[in-house]
Amino acid sequence: GQSLEQPSEVTAVEGAIVQINCTYQTSGFYGLSWYQQHDGGAPTFLSYNALDGLEETGRFSSFLSRSDSYGYLLLQELQMKDSASYFCAVSPHQAGTALIFGKGTTLSVSS
Amino acid sequence: EAQVTQNPRYLITVTGKKLTVTCSQNMNHEYMSWYRQDPGLGLRQIYYSMNVEVTDKGDVPEGYKVSRKEKRNFPLILESPSPNQTSLYFCASSSGGGAGYEQYFGPGTRLTVT
């Protein structure tokens, strides 16, 4: 079957750096993306990696290693508003088909 | 304003009573999909559609039907709802399928089946 593994919870303090890992076991791989979801809200897109390496978008970065079937989301200069759930998602087939999500990581940022 | 709308936002119904949750997008997106979200299970894809009249099963299609007669609309139909379909449902659209295309999610529909 297809599976994506993420830690269920992560805690950190304001100003810190946190890394949320995602390992995947899928029949194929056509990219890894990350979504943020605040409590009671809809998921919103954060980033996408198709190739190995680091993609940076402001305070958030995402990394991919296809040989290790592994990626992570790096959040820097944490703020209280970053408290949310974060999901990784993989396309197991060629673009245009299903999208598999991980179970999500709840990030709690304290002051 | 670019958006995905879902109706109703909240619904309480009884076992076996057919219901439809509507989803509409105004971004001319080709790809639309439905997800359910349950505590500890993340988002699971129910059905997706690549374009008008083209639909396919996701991970958890049992008990659900969809149709895509128009590009903008993608209703989710529960012909005979059961309590295990109590969940938070999200519709999403994007300009293409796959992880590389930003999925725009609707606000969600919280369904309770008693």
* Closest chain B C-alpha to A79 CA, distance in angstroms: 24
What is the per-residue pLDDT for A96? 56
pLDDT exceeds 80 at position A98: no
Q: From the list B43, B44, B59, which residue is nearest A43 (CB)?
A: B43
* Closest chain B C-alpha to A17 CA, distance in angstroms: 24
- Average pLDDT on B76-104 reads 94
| SS3 per-residue string spanning chain B | CCCEEEECCEEEECCCCCEEEEEEECCCCCEEEEEEEECCCEEEEEEEEEECCEEEECCCCCCCEECCCCCCECCEEECCCCHHHCEEEEEEEECCCCCCCCCEECCCEEEEEC
pLDDT exceeds 90 at position A30: no
Whether A97 sits inside 8 A of B98 (CB atoms) is: yes
- Average pLDDT on A16-41 reads 94
Characterize B97-109 residue by residue with b for buried, 16 or more Cβ atoms within 10 angstroms of its Cβ, and e for exposed.
bbbbbbbbbbebb
Determine contact, residues B15/B81, Cβ cutoff 8 Å: yes
What would the pLDDT profile of A58-87 be if each residue is shown by its tens digit?
A: 999 999 999 999 999 999 999 999 999 999
What would the pLDDT profile of B26-59 be if each residue is shown by its tens digit?
A: 999 999 999 999 998 999 999 999 999 999 999 9
Whether A98 sits inside 8 A of B105 (CB atoms) is: no
Q: From the list A33, A42, A104, which residue is nearest B107 (CB)?
A: A42
pLDDT exceeds 90 at position B98: no
CA distances from A13 to A80, A82, A83, B46, B90 (A): 8, 11, 10, 37, 31
Which residues, numbered 36 to 55 in chain B, qualify as contacts with chain A under a Cβ-Cβ cut-off of 8 Å? 40-45, 48, 50
Q: From the list B31, B33, B106, which residue is nearest A42 (CB)?
A: B106
What is the per-residue pLDDT for B75? 98
Average of per-residue pLDDT values in chain B = 95
Whether A100 sits inside 8 A of B101 (CB atoms) is: no
What is the per-residue pLDDT for A28? 85
